[in-house]
A and B are shown apart, each in its own frame.
Chain A
Amino acid sequence: MVAWTDFERETIKSIFGKLDYDDVGLAALCRCLVVYPWTQRYFGNFGNLYNADAIRANPMVAAHGKVVLNGLDKAVKNLDNIKGTYAELSVLHSEKLRVDPDNFRLLADCLTIVVAARMGADFTAEVQAAFQKFLAVVVSSLCRQYH
């Protein structure tokens, strides 16, 4: 069980409450595919990922960014049982999608940077700590069912 302080709970809910999931989902996934191009290996059927502009304009990337953010939303709404909430997703990512779990951390880092860009000065060190703790729990829960 993860111990969340009141500040952490409020901060996480507040951040996600203000995010445009469509915008941030696309921005984070696009950034991940550009900055860490080997992550493109999981998106062979996405068509044109040849350069940053193509990735940015790709509707499948946008759609998948939205899926990811909505997936994170489930964790935000179940902060006290992220592990349970993500049990099936973890099996999916390990058994079916076969994603190297290191990639979760790469996407998490990109999402952090996108949120920092959106929030500017409001993304203080303490807010960053709460946000990254949340993402670390998410990543850990997604890794849980790998064997």
Chain B
Amino acid sequence: MSLSANDKANVTAIWKKILPKSDDIGDQALSRMLTVYPQTKTYFAHFADLSPGSPQVRKHGDIIMNKIDDCVNHMDDLFPYLSGLSDLHATKLRIDPANFKILAHNLLVVVAAYLPNDFTPEVHLSVDKFLQQVALALAEKYR
């Protein structure tokens, strides 16, 4: 399910609208993941406060979202670009890759809520494929 030229164009276009709200969207996506899929909290036992909007959650949402924003500029070389992060996730963080899908879903929900008219089924398809590729690149070094 690799990215077509159309997919890349769709992702680039909608990300121009996502970028100005990137911090809020990232925070929302991570908070929702922790609320709606509580099993994901198991990866954040070291956070003092896991309530939605807490400073640690917000900061972590920023980190993740900023990286996803960068990935939009690296759609042609995602796997090399994410190589180091993949090492980190594989050897240190060891997050079950099923959770990448869960976070992606919550990101899609937030984008739909913020940009209902732009997030058409066609754009949704492209963004879903993009996030799936990001997830694959992140899981590349797992085994």
Specify whether A and B are partners: yes
The complex places the Cα of A119 from the Cα of B113 at a distance, in Å, of 7
| Complex partner residue of B119 from A34, A52, A117, A125, CB under 8 angstroms | A117
Q: Is the CB of B35 within 8 A of A129?
A: yes
Q: Is the CB of B116 within 8 A of A117?
A: yes
Q: Is the CB of A120 within 8 A of B31?
A: no
Which residues from chain A contact B114 at a C-beta distance below 8 Å?
Answer: 120
Q: Is the CB of B116 within 8 A of A118?
A: yes
Q: How far is the CB of A24 from chain B (nearest CB, A)?
A: 12
Q: Is A31 an interface residue (CB 8 A)?
A: yes
Interface residues of B in 111-142 (CB under 8 A from A): 112-114, 116, 119-122, 124-125, 128
Q: Is B108 an interface residue (CB 8 A)?
A: yes
Which residues from chain B contact A116 at a C-beta distance below 8 Å?
Answer: 109-110, 112-113
The complex places the Cα of A112 from the Cα of B121 at a distance, in Å, of 13
Q: Is A126 an interface residue (CB 8 A)?
A: yes
Q: Is A35 an interface residue (CB 8 A)?
A: yes
The complex places the Cα of A17 from the Cα of B120 at a distance, in Å, of 24
**Chain B: interface secondary structure?**
helix
Q: How far is the CB of A138 from chain B (nearest CB, A)?
A: 16
Interface residues of A in 118-147 (CB under 8 A from B): 118-121, 123, 125-126, 128-129, 132
Q: Is the CB of B128 within 8 A of A128?
A: no
Which residues from chain B contact A118 at a C-beta distance below 8 Å?
Answer: 116
Q: Please, which residue of chain B has its CB at the minimum distance from the CB of A113?
A: B112
Q: Is A22 an interface residue (CB 8 A)?
A: no
Q: Is the CB of B121 within 8 A of A34?
A: yes
Which residues from chain A contact B121 at a C-beta distance below 8 Å?
Answer: 30-31, 34-35, 52, 55-56
Q: Is the CB of A132 within 8 A of B125?
A: no
The complex places the Cα of A17 from the Cα of B2 at a distance, in Å, of 40
Q: Is the CB of A125 within 8 A of B113?
A: no
Question: What is the 8 Å Cβ interface bit string for chain B, positions 97-113, against chain A (1 contact, 0 not)?
Answer: 00000000100111011
Q: Is the CB of A35 within 8 A of B31?
A: no
Given A35-B121, A52-B121: A120 touches B35 (CB 8 Å cut-off)? no
B residues within 8 Å of A by Cβ? Answer: 28, 31-32, 35-36, 52, 105, 108-110, 112-114, 116, 119-122, 124-125, 128
The 8 A-B residue pairs whose C-beta atoms are closest, nearest first, are: A117-B116, A34-B121, A125-B35, A117-B112, A116-B113, A116-B112, A31-B121, A129-B36
